[in-house]
Amino acid sequence: MTMSTKIESVTAFPLTYEFPKGRTVPMGIGNAQKRDVIVVRVTTADGLVGYGESHPGRSPGAVASLIDNTLGPLIKGMDACDVVGVWARVHRMQLASHGLGAASAIALSGIDLALWDIRGKFANMPLYQLLGGTRRRIKAYAGGVAMGYQPPAALAEEAQGHVARGYKAVKLRVGDTVARDIERIRTVRKALGDDIEILVDANTAYTLADVRRVLPALEELRVGWLEEPFACDDFASYRAAAQISHRVPLAAGENHYTRYEFARMLEERAVQIFQPDLSKTGGITETLRIAAAASAWRIPVNPHSSAGGINMAATVQLLAAIDNGGYFEACVSQLNPLRDMFGAPFEIGADGCVEPIDRPGIGLEIDESVFKQFPLIDGLGFS
C-alpha cells in the first residue's frame, strides 16, 4: 500500500529569546535586543512530520500569520514531496502577483525546508545524500551575531577564543567608523597571525566613500571578503565598489530573495560571493537553483545562517551536496539559545570544519515542548 504524502497541515511557531536586561549587540543596523526564529511544522495525511525554519523578517508575528493563514491553506492537499510544485504555486499566487513579496519568500522558505525534511524521512536518507552529495567536511567560519564593536583588545581576545576551539576563519562586524573598523581588524590580524582568514561584514552601513577609504586597508590586512557594504538594492554602489579593488571580493545575498534577484546580481557582475539564506531566499529548492546558476559563473556560495538550529543543520546538508559551496557560517553568539534548542546543529572540528548530521531529513530531533521557553515578543528588536 502506498503511503500518502499529501499535506495535511502547516503550522508556524514564532519564538523569541530576549537578551538579558542591559545586554545588546551593536552592529551596523543598530543594537539588537533579542533573537527570533519561526519553526514551521508540516504534517502529511499519513503522519509524516517535517520541520523547517523561516527568518523572522523583523516581524515574526506577521510572518507566522502569513504561513498559518495564507500559504498553509494554499498548499494543503498537495504532495509534500512535490517541492517544485509547491514552490510554483506559492510563486504564482504570492510572489508573482499581488502577494507580499519578500515576506512570502521568507514564509515559503520555512515550508520548503520542512518539505525537504519530509522527503528525507520518506526516503530514509539524510538530506545531503538525497541531494546527491556525500558526508564530507565543510570549512566553517566563526560568525553569527558576534565579534562586534567592542574595544580592539577585547575583540582580538574573543577571536582568539574561537580559533582555540578549531576555527580557521572569523568574521568581524564593521560599519562603525572606517578608522575604528580598521583599528579593530589590524589588532585582530596581529593577534591571529597570517594563517587565519578574516572576513568582514558591514551590515549595509557603509557609503561608497567609506568603501573607497576602507578597501586599501582590507587589501593590506588580507581580508577575505567585504560583506554587504550597501543596501541590497543599491546596485550602482556595488558596481562602483567592484572597480576599486580586485583583491577584496564583495559578498552579498542574505537580503536577496529568490533566483530572480540573484540573476540581477549575475547581470551586474558586481558581487563575487553569493550568500543566500535558506530561511529567506526560498528554501532548499530555490537555493539549489541559485547555486547552479552561480556555478556557471564560477561564483562560490557561502550561505548566510539564520538564528535557529534547523537552518544551520540544513545549510551544512546543502553545502555537502553542491559543487561551488564555500564556508558554513557557524553562529558563535553567546546570546543565542535558539541555535541549540534541539541539540547541536553542528560541531566544529580541530580542522576548522563541520559535517552534516547523518540522520534522515535535516537530521534534528525536534522537541516541541521547548517552545514554551521562548514565548513570542513581537516587533523590531533593535534600538
Query: 177 and 257 share a domain?
Result: yes
Contact 90, 105 (CB under 8 A): no
Query: What pTM was computed for the model?
Result: 0.96
pLDDT above 70: percentage of residues in the chain? 99
For residue 117, the surrounding DSSP H or E stretch is helix 102-123
Task: Give the integer Cα–Cα distance in Å for 374 and 383.
Answer: 21
Domain assignment of residue 224, yes or no? yes
Predicted local confidence at residue 145, as pLDDT: 81
Contact 19, 45 (CB under 8 A): no
Contact 292, 299 (CB under 8 A): no
User: Percent helix, strand, coil in the chain (nearest 5)?
Assistant: 40, 20, 40
11-25, 200-214, 348-362: segment of lowest average pLDDT? 11-25
Predicted local confidence at residue 2, as pLDDT: 63
Strand spans (E) along 229-303: 250-252, 273-274
- For residue 296, the enclosing domain spans 129-354
Tens-place pLDDT, residues 128-147: 999 999 999 999 999 988 88
Query: 143 and 213 share a domain?
Result: yes
Domain assignment of residue 168, yes or no? yes
Task: Give the integer Cα–Cα distance in Å for 328 and 341.
Answer: 20
Contact 101, 255 (CB under 8 A): no
Predicted local confidence at residue 23, as pLDDT: 85
Tens-place pLDDT, residues 168-183: 999 999 999 999 999 9
Question: Could you give the angle at the alpha carbon of 37 between the alpha carbons of 92 and 288, nearest 5°?
Answer: 45
Domain assignment of residue 287, yes or no? yes
Domain count, the chain: 2
Strand-strand pairing, 49-54 and 34-44: antiparallel
Calculate the CA 346 to chain-centre distance.
Answer: 14
What b/e readout covers 44-62, taking b as 16+ CB neighbours within 10 angstroms?
beeebbbbbbbbbbebbbb
| Domain end point (choices 84, 101, 124) | 124
Task: Give the integer Cα–Cα distance in Å for 98 and 85.
Answer: 20
Domain assignment of residue 159, yes or no? yes
Domain assignment of residue 381, yes or no? no
Query: 115 and 136 share a domain?
Result: no
* Count of all residues that appear for the chain in the document: 383
80: which 3 cell numbers? 509534500
| Domain end point (choices 101, 124, 147) | 124
Longest CA–CA span in the chain (Å) reads 68
Tens-place pLDDT, residues 66-108: 999 999 999 999 999 999 999 999 999 999 999 999 999 999 9
